[in-house]
Amino acid sequence: MERKVRVRFAPSPTGPLHIGGVRTALYNYLFAKKNGGDFLLRVEDTDQTRFVPGAEEYIIESLKWLGISPDEGQGFNDGPYGPYRQSERKPMYRQYADQLIESGHAYYAFDTAEELDTMRDTLKANGMSPQYDAVSRMSMKNSLTLSSDEVQKRLDAGDPYVIRIKLPRKEEVRFHDIIRGWVVVHTNAMDDKVLFKSDGMPTYHLANVVDDYLMKISHVIRGEEWLPSAPLHVMLYRYLGWEDVMPEFAHLPLILKPDGNGKLSKRDGDRLGFPVFPLNWTDPKTGELSSGYRDAGYFPEAVVNILAFLGWHPADNRELFELEELVQEFSLERVSKSGAKFDVQKAFWFNQQYLRNKTDEELASALQPFLDKEGVQVDKSYLNQVCRLMKEKVSFIHEIYQEGRYFFEPAANWDSALIQKKFKDFTPSVLADLKDAIESSDSFTKETIEHLFHAIVEEKNGRKSGEMMLAFRLSVSGVAGGPPIFDMIAVMGKEATLRNMNAFLSFYQGISAN
């Protein structure tokens, strides 16, 4: 019988979710939806020492913002396999550790931290890898070396202990990874990892495998950093007798820094000016702020598109995909093995494409909160028109305000160096003529302004229009760039245009008098 596709995103709430983690969640979501399966969110919080308050809420909010909501899981819908937070599943794990001890695949170990250090130092000094394994375990304090009476005595006395997996000395562990093909690891390169800790909690390895089994997970899709753990997980499936329902593995490539080598880090983001987190995050201990895509003005659809392309590509050259389209196109077979370089310019480009595809009304409502923050009040239909003109010019919503301030406030702070460089003797008087003509004109449309401009500049003053364009733009808006000039002026309106031109002409008198 075909197995139902069930996949999970299983983050540990140890801080803000890095975009690598968000991409893992996205690929799991896409794979589930493509295959008519379920997508789960499981919070892996067995390591209480690394717990960070707020991190779980942050993960949930990030997934909601991006629209990749799990079908089951913490913070979303309850399902038949809950609870979905591992700390609440604590009583479920011990029986599997006991089962492994009984079947001879795990053992108690009583070594202290100092004894473990000494063992590792000795091995290193002898040029061997510092592993707790088939050889070294025989000189340590565990239930393989101590008599059963001694073991029982220690257990009864409540001595601290851990439970370790007992790996064979020489065996090949083979498993198939959908992205990487066959992976082969020898047990002599593996550690007898701790499965159960002295605080009564399972480790990541045991809890992860047990939960994937109990939650009927069909595919484990996760970051490459977990590839080294996979052979151990395969051994656990085997020793627990679950090999026939072992999930298929797919280890996703790393997201690499834009320049140089290595994994993308928060420091790269700070250095190159882009977020590596979905949402802003304030570290509860240090108060340090890390910036997020949402707060930096990215659209969630753009972030989904950016992340989809970090390690995956579609069958053709298309680049713009909304979530639904990604679901149709996605396949793990087209995820690459090699790391994906983050491209900052491309991220801007994606956001810009989504911005341009929005209606003027959508942009206006997205801009409204920025204007509210600045205390700027404008009419809705005016804002729609500003958005219509500015959307070709910017990559982010807030840039409509930042780069088009003249639409919202009187022009000021003209660049006198630029003016002195560009202005000719005739420029101010032609500008003054133009201002008078605008003032006495009854009509104020794009066409009339354009017509007046040519009439005054060319016919009345015998100049080329190219000689007056920049001056006209500067006088009205205060800046040298922007949307097509006559459209811009028509939207700004007669009153603002004349007010700015008057202010400019007085300003000019001031600088030319000096």
Active site residues: 266
Q: Does 10 bind ligand GLU (CB under 6 A)?
A: yes
* Residue list 229-268, contact with ligand GLU (CB under 6 A): none
Q: Does 111 bind ligand GLU (CB under 6 A)?
A: no
Query: Smaller CB distance to ligand GLU: residue 11 or 482?
Result: 11
Query: Smaller CB distance to ligand GLU: residue 164 or 222?
Result: 222
Of 5-13, 100-108, 331-339, 356-364, the window that binds ligand GLU (rule: CB under 6 A) is 5-13
Residues 6+ apart with CB under 8 A from 388: 360
* Residue list 307-336, contact with ligand GLU (CB under 6 A): none
CB of 333 to ligand GLU, least distance (A): 20
What's the CA gap between 60 and 57, in Å, rounded?
Answer: 5
Residue with tokens 């579609």: 314
Of 10-18, 167-175, 187-195, 496-504, the window that binds ligand GLU (rule: CB under 6 A) is 10-18
Asked if 192 and 165 touch (Cβ cutoff 8 Å), the reply is yes
What's the CA gap between 447 and 293, in Å, rounded?
Answer: 41
Of 4-12, 236-244, 253-261, 488-496, the window that binds ligand GLU (rule: CB under 6 A) is 4-12
Q: Does 12 bind ligand GLU (CB under 6 A)?
A: yes
Q: Does 51 bind ligand GLU (CB under 6 A)?
A: no
CB of 421 to ligand GLU, least distance (A): 57
CB of 483 to ligand GLU, least distance (A): 46
Which residue stretches of 261-415 are H helix? 266-272, 300-308, 323-329, 344-356, 360-374, 380-390, 397-402
Query: Smaller CB distance to ligand GLU: residue 12 or 290?
Result: 12
What's the CA gap between 417 and 480, in Å, rounded?
Answer: 13
Pairing of strands 194-196, 281-282: unpaired
Q: Does 73 bind ligand GLU (CB under 6 A)?
A: no
Number of residues interacting with ligand GLU: please give it, by CB under 6 A. Answer: 8
* Residue list 171-190, contact with ligand GLU (CB under 6 A): none
CA 483 distance to own-chain centroid: 32
Q: Does 202 bind ligand GLU (CB under 6 A)?
A: no
Taking the C-alpha atoms of 105, 111, 116 and 118 in order, what is their torsion angle to the nearest 10 degrees? -130
Q: Does 11 bind ligand GLU (CB under 6 A)?
A: yes
Q: Does 226 bind ligand GLU (CB under 6 A)?
A: yes
Tokens of 169: 């000395």
Query: Smaller CB distance to ligand GLU: residue 33 or 233?
Result: 233
Tokens of 194: 């701790």
Closest to 471 in 3D by CA, of 490, 456, 491, 493: 456
Q: Does 86 bind ligand GLU (CB under 6 A)?
A: no
CA dist list (Å): 274 to 16, 144, 190, 270, 394: 15, 53, 38, 7, 16
Q: State the greatest distance between any 2 C-alpha atoms of the chain, in Å, as a whole number.
A: 112
Residue with tokens 């340090």: 288
Query: Smaller CB distance to ligand GLU: residue 226 or 370?
Result: 226
Pairing of strands 72-73, 38-41: parallel
| Positions that interact with ligand GLU (CB under 6 A) | 10-12, 44, 204, 208, 222, 226
